[in-house]
Amino acid sequence: MNFIEIITGKRYKRNKYIKEKMKEFSANILDFKNGDDLIDTKGYECCISEILINSIGVIITPKTGSGSSSLQYFSMNDFNKRFKKKL
């Protein structure tokens, strides 16, 4: 085995490991779709605006009349801790 084969083998193993970790991080991302209504841990309603490979963009509505809406992106781990699907 030469040096290039060793390096290529290590890269392949590293890339395979990264792909497996990405699957773990985004395990239930297919359960959601754009436009789904959500309830956060404080009881406020939010809406999914964008779904990426391993994160979800959520439109956070204002809590008061003088507030403004914002778009925030959450990793699936943080998303699952903070939001539940509205039934």
Q: Tens of pLDDT along 35-84?
A: 999 999 998 999 999 999 888 999 998 888 888 999 999 998 899 889 99
Helix (H) or strand (E) holding 83: strand 83-85
For residue 31, which phi and psi values (nearest 5 degrees)?
A: -75, -10
Decide if 46 contacts 61 (C-beta within 8 A): yes
CATH number given to 3-85: 2.30.30
| Domain map (residue ranges) of the chain | 3-85
pLDDT higher for 24 or 63?
A: 63
For residue 19, which phi and psi values (nearest 5 degrees)?
A: -65, -40
DSSP codes, 7-20: HHHHHHHHHHHHHH
pLDDT higher for 28 or 84?
A: 84
Amino acid at 25: F
Place of tokens 């008061």: 64
Q: Tokens at residue 6, please?
A: 């060793």
